Amino acid sequence: MAYLLQVDFPMNGPFGDEMTAAFTGLAQSITEEEGFIWKIWTESPETNESGGIYLFETKETAEKYLDMHTKRLAGFGITGVNAKIFAINSKLSEITKAPGLK
């Protein structure tokens, strides 16, 4: 069973192409995390929020990543991180064309 990690936090930018340029190295490093399957990056310049939706192989790897990521964000001065971990119902998700489920 795969696990979804939903994270959002306040951020004053960068967004769009500037975000891509600033965080390409970070994106590449995330792909090396234990149990990582994929991430969708989220951003809202209108509300000054950023975050992501991640898929991990196990609940434990999602929790481990969340702990590390929250500490990393705090190191950047970012607080107010909202996060939730959900189990995935693979059978229903496959019907609705969810990508990358194992």
pLDDT in tens, 61-90: 999 999 999 999 999 899 999 999 999 998
Write down the pLDDT at residue 35.
96
Which ranges of the chain does DSSP label H, i.e. alpha helix?
16-30, 59-75, 90-95
Write down the pLDDT at residue 28.
96
Could you state, in order of their start, the residue ranges of all structural domains in the chain? 3-95
Q: Which residues of the chain have pLDDT under 50?
A: none
DSSP class per residue in 69-89: HHHHHHHTT----EEEEEE--
Counting every residue written for the chain, the total comes to: 102
With vertex at residue 35, the alpha carbon angle to CA 31 and CA 40, rounded to the nearest 5 degrees, is: 50
With vertex at residue 32, the alpha carbon angle to CA 1 and CA 52, rounded to the nearest 5 degrees, is: 65
- pTM of the complete model: 0.90
User: Domain spanning 3-95 has what CATH number?
Assistant: 3.30.70.100
Write down the pLDDT at residue 102.
56
